[in-house]
Chain A
Amino acid sequence: MTENAILQVGDTVPDFTLTTYEPTTKGFGEYKLSEAMKNGKWTMLFFYPADYTFG
C-alpha cells in the first residue's frame, strides 16, 4: 500500500490509537486497534461530523 492510499475493503488496517471519552466510566481513555484484536474483538468505526449533531 502506498503511503497515502485510502483503505479499501479487504485491506489490513494499520494499528491506531484514539484518545477517548468512556461513557461507562465517565473518564478518559484510549482505544487501540491491536488491543481489541488481541481480545478477539471486531471493531466498528462510526465517523460523524461533529458532536451535537445526529447519527
Chain B
Amino acid sequence: MGCEVVTVSADTQFVHLAWQREEKDLENVTFHMGSDRNGDLAKQFGVWNGGFCLRGTYLISPEGKLMNSEVNFLNLGRNIDETMRKFKANIYLGKKPNEGCPSKWKDDGDTTLTPGPEMVGRVHQAHN
C-alpha cells in the first residue's frame, strides 16, 4: 500500500511481544510495534501525557513532511475508515495538488473541488 504503520507506546518491545501473542485481536497484525520508553518521539508531536501517550495519529509523506494529525483523548478510540479516507486523500492530492478533497470525498473518482474565482459563493453547485 506504500505505507508503513508504526504503533507507538511507552511500553517496551518485550511487552509488545507478550501483548501481541496473547490478544486475539492482534493475531494477524503486520504493523511495527514501536517502543518510545521516555516519550522522546511523543513529546515532539505533543502527545506525551505524563508517562504515556495520547491517542495521536500522524501521517508522514515519503518526503518526510507531516501531512495529517489527529489527537483523541485517552478514552476515545479512532475510526480506521476516517484514517484511511485521509490517507487516500493525501495520496490523491499528492498527484493533483491543485484540487481539494471535500469532507464527503472517500476515494479516487469522487467529486473534488478546484478552488478559483468561479467557486466563490458557489461551493454548493460545484459539489452537487
Residues of A near any B CB (own CB < 8 A): 6-16, 18-24, 26, 28-29, 31, 33-34, 36-37, 40-52, 54-55
Contact = CB atoms under 8 A, between A and B. Distances in A.
B1 to A, nearest CB: 8
Contact of B77 (A7, A10, A44, A54): A54
B65 to A, nearest CB: 6
Chain B contact residues: helix, strand, loop or mixed: mixed
B2 A19 contact: no
Interface size class of B (residues with CB under 8 A): 35 or more
Question: 3 shortest A-B CB distances, which residue pairs?
Answer: A18-B34, A21-B16, A6-B46
Contacts of B20: 21, 23
Contacts of A31: 4, 6, 32, 34
A48 B65 contact: no
Interface of B: 2-11, 13-20, 23, 26, 29-36, 40-42, 44-47, 49, 52-69, 74, 77-78, 83, 87, 90-91
